[in-house]
Amino acid sequence: MNHDRFRHLLGYIDSHLDEVLSLDVLAGKAAYSPFHFHRRFAALTGMGVHRYVQLSRFKRAAWQAAFRPDVSVTEMALQAGYESAEGFSRAFRQRLGASPAAFRGQPDWARWARTWQDLDQVRRFAMPLTHDHDDVRIIDFPETAVACLPHRGAPELIGETIRRFIAWRKENRLPPSRSSTWNIVYDDPDETPPDAYRMDLCCTCAEVAPNEQGVIAATIGAGRCAVLRHTGSDAQLGDSVRFLYGEWLSASGETPRDAPLFFKRVVFFPDVPVHEAVTEIYLPLAGVS
């Protein structure tokens, strides 16, 4: 099983989490012998295929519990392959320390972040992304008015800021389908002390009324930008950013402008399978627009 077939297999798992994903089914999708498939999968990922499928299902369920209050526990259970909400709730509690309902009310964000580390490692290291210089385009970005909720503190706690921002967007009838979603990224989470980390959650919005969530009016400045489309897990987003700052910037002769990196969240997990999530990375460049 080469890496291309393996990448295709991970995409199949992502897209079929609510279906039967037996060893025979997955070995067939990988065009590999069932007698050797599970060992080859473990050799490539560092975990068994059954655990990989379980973690993928629970990650989607936990995202739904945290950020999709319209999805019931019963729906989450069925999508995760459980016959009853009770059995699913027990398994959820074992992984995340609380039932889905309790987690929805008061998430343990630190435990949340730890739970997916092994799964994220598979994405980042077993199947590294590849980018080409032709993947980057240079545009003139227009000044854009946004509603902004600053996050200050450990990256692992950003889930709570996301929930507050979602609540504000719902109150103001600004869903992603009507108002583009942006992240302004001031710091590298791998290089910044957790309590000093800064990122702003934003959406396109002309005016912001006083509110309890702490959302403020702001702008993303106009200017030249290099844009790279990242498709896949956020676990690999840093690798795409490093390509842009490293290989592409070195070869391009361009100079970064004195403005922070920002992202446009085009399509997000869990609304689509993780391998289909799309984020556009904008690197502000010096020079005349």
Q: Where are the domains of the chain?
A: 3-126, 133-284
Q: Are 146 and 203 in contact (CB under 8 A)?
A: yes
**Among 3.20.80.10, 1.10.600.10, 3.40.1260.10, 3.90.120.10, what is the CATH number of 133-284?**
3.20.80.10
pLDDT band at 1 (very low <50, low <70, confident <90, very high): low
Q: What is the pLDDT of residues 103-123, one digit of tens each?
A: 888 888 888 888 888 888 887
What's domain 3-126's architecture?
Orthogonal Bundle (1.10)
Rounded Cα–Cα distance for residues 280 and 264 (Å): 5
pTM over 0.85: yes
Contacts of 152 (CB under 8 A, 6+ apart): 197, 198
Confidence of residue 143 (pLDDT cuts 50, 70, 90): very high
Token pair 């970005």 is found at 141
Q: What is the pLDDT of residue 289?
A: 52
